[in-house]
Amino acid sequence: MMEIATSASNLPLIAAVLSLLLLVIVGAIVYRLKSTDGKRDTFLITGLSDSGKTVLYYRLQHEEEVAKPRLVHIVDLPGHEKLRFRFSEFTPITKGIVFILDSTTLNRNIRSVAEYLYDILVNKHVQKREVPILVLCNKNDLLLALGKEKVQELVEGEIDRLRATRAAGVEAQDEDRNGGDDFLGYENEAFKFEHVPNAVTFVSCSLIGDDDFGGVYAVGEFIANLT
């Protein structure tokens, strides 16, 4: 008699313990989901050496009025082959890519710039999630700098040439590493960034000096719109 009374009076306690346990489990699941989602807030800053990645990173960290992503990775490698490797480590969790180029040396570097952008655009994660790309045409405070329209035109022309050789299967062995669709744009038309599903935006800027040409703010807006 006594025993039954005890176990009956234990019932509310057992129920309370069970519901607490359930709450903890649900909480843990929600937290996990949220934290993996949070990791998707990763932004990449990339581009050739000397383009301005470090200056941009510093300004993003230190300027109050600029939106800050939770995570920024700088992919800072001069070696083209190495970039492909390093880059693909981050693309599964990348929300947006800031590609910086030096607008004063583009004629000399056009091939490398086009190859970097091409590799970004054929990456399977970049394609699948249509990761947006902001192209910062930096150093526009200098006299020899090309404006963003000219930069875009030159890069499109070079990707068009690149596309012809890559699509011909010359580098078909790279498919494993890229995994994405290797042919960018439309088959019978000259390459244009508007032909890829990713939003690719060109902005003229100068990351040093007082007149920013909207550069660091354009990056802040880009980040704010995606987070």
Ligand X SMILES: Nc1nc2c(ncn2[C@@H]2O[C@H](COP(=O)(O)OP(=O)(O)O)[C@@H](O)[C@H]2O)c(=O)[nH]1
Handedness of CA 171, 173, 175, 178 (dihedral sign): negative
Interface with Mg ion, residue 54, by CB under 5 A: yes
Given a contact cutoff of 8 angstroms between Cβ atoms, the answer to whether 163 and 193 are in contact is no
The whole-angstrom separation of Cα 138 and Cα 206 is 5
The whole-angstrom separation of Cα 85 and Cα 1 is 73
Half-sphere exposure for 94 (CA within 13 Å, toward CB): 30
Minimum distance from residue 150 beta carbon to Mg ion (Å): 25
Q: Which of residues 159 and 207 has its CB atom nearest to Mg ion in the complex?
A: 207
User: What does the per-residue mask of binding to ligand X show for 136-175, with x meaning CB under 6 A?
Assistant: --xx-xx---------------------------------
The whole-angstrom separation of Cα 59 and Cα 200 is 22
Interface with Mg ion, residue 165, by CB under 5 A: no
Of 94, 109, 127, 206, the residue at the interface with ligand X (CB under 6 A) is 206
Interface with ligand X, residue 103, by CB under 6 A: no
Q: Which of residues 75 and 120 has its CB atom nearest to Mg ion in the complex?
A: 75
Q: Which of residues 58 and 183 has its CB atom nearest to ligand X in the complex?
A: 58
Residue spans of beta strands (DSSP E) within the chain: 42-47, 71-75, 94-102, 133-138, 200-204
The whole-angstrom separation of Cα 199 and Cα 212 is 23
Q: Which of residues 42 and 51 has its CB atom nearest to ligand X in the complex?
A: 51
- Span from 48-56, 109-117, 157-165, 170-178 in contact with Mg ion (CB under 5 A): 48-56
Minimum distance from residue 71 beta carbon to ligand X (Å): 18
Minimum distance from residue 123 beta carbon to ligand X (Å): 20
3-state secondary structure 137-192: EECCCCCCCCCHHHHHHHHHHHHHHHHHHHHHHHCHHHHHHHECCCCCCCCCCCCC
Minimum distance from residue 103 beta carbon to ligand X (Å): 9
The whole-angstrom separation of Cα 136 and Cα 102 is 9
Of 159, 207, 216, 219, the residue at the interface with ligand X (CB under 6 A) is 207
Interface with ligand X, residue 49, by CB under 6 A: yes
Of 79, 208, 224, 225, the residue at the interface with ligand X (CB under 6 A) is 208
Q: Which residues bind Mg ion (CB under 5 A)?
A: 53-54
Q: Which residues bind ligand X (CB under 6 A)?
A: 47, 49-55, 76, 138-139, 141-142, 206-208
